[in-house]
Amino acid sequence: MTERTSRCCCGQLSVTVSGEPTINGICSCSDCKKRTGSAFGWQTHFADSGVIVVGESQQYTLDNGQVRNFCHRCGSTLFWSSPSFPEMTRLAAGNFDSDELPLPKLSVQDHDRVSWIELPEDWVFHT
Ligand SMILES: [Zn+2]
Ligand SMILES: [Zn+2]
């Protein structure tokens, strides 16, 4: 089974996942923009049973129940959980090292996508 590892900027926190993501897409909601400080968040979902966390994280809980885990030293957000996706770990896809993920083909909160990002027509779009 394929294994991939995601690491924070300083390297003390890592998450290894096995298998393929059940969801792999970008999100343009304001929470994802603030989490990344970028135009959108790219995230993957993996079953909790295939997720191994090494290192120390701190947690932040949003009003919607999402629990974000970030490195206590460098601040990178690596993974989170939310009540709407039980038994799934959601990971910030940009933190995976050289282990290439499948291409994302999903854009959620697409109506909030910044105007200068164009996406291929064969993606799935959720407003
Ligand atoms: Zn770190
Ligand atoms: Zn979002």
pLDDT in tens, 24-46: 999 999 999 999 999 999 999 99
Q: State mean pLDDT over 60-72.
A: 96
Distance 110 CA to ligand 1 centre (A): 30
DSSP letters, 71-86, are: ETTT--EEEEE-TTST
pLDDT of 97: 82
Q: State mean pLDDT over 43-70.
A: 96
Distance 37 CA to ligand 2 centre (A): 12
pLDDT > 70: percent of the chain: 99
Q: Which ligand is nearest to the CA of 66?
A: 2
Domain boundaries defined on the chain: 3-125
The SS3 call for residue 13 is coil
CATH architecture of the domain 3-125 equals: Beta Complex (2.170)
pLDDT of 98: 73
Contact predicate 68/59, CB 8 Å: yes
Residue ranges near ligand 1 (ion) with Cβ within 5 Å: 8, 10, 71, 73-74
